Amino acid sequence: MIDGTSNLQWMKPGPMAQEQMALIRAACLHLEEGLRKNLNPNRESSLALTKLEECCQWAIKSICVEDSKSHTLRPE
């Protein structure tokens, strides 16, 4: 829990956070494309893609948690 806000709460990202999230997604998508073009399908490449997905998710979660310090809303 950060500043009384649970990480389990739904967090609506503000405009700046949305822009940061879009940049993270674009970078991850670019890397994913490169991995898929250059790696043969096998267990190791599958793990690499899974870890990239996790990286993207955690990076976006980090942005949401930081942004939640300014506002937290419930879903409509």
Instruction: Give 56's pLDDT tier (boundaries 50, 70, 90).
Output: very high
Indicate the burial class of 24 (C-beta count within 10 angstroms; 0-12, 13-18, 19 or more).
Answer: middle
CA 32 from centre of chain:
14
Q: Tell me if the pTM is above 0.85.
A: no
**CA–CA dist 11, 49 (Å, integer):** 26
CB 11 within 8 A of CB 2: no
Instruction: Give 65's pLDDT tier (boundaries 50, 70, 90).
Output: confident
Computed over every residue of the chain, the mean pLDDT equals 87
- Please, which residues bridge with residue 59 across strands? none
Return the higher-pLDDT residue of 56 and 5. Answer: 56
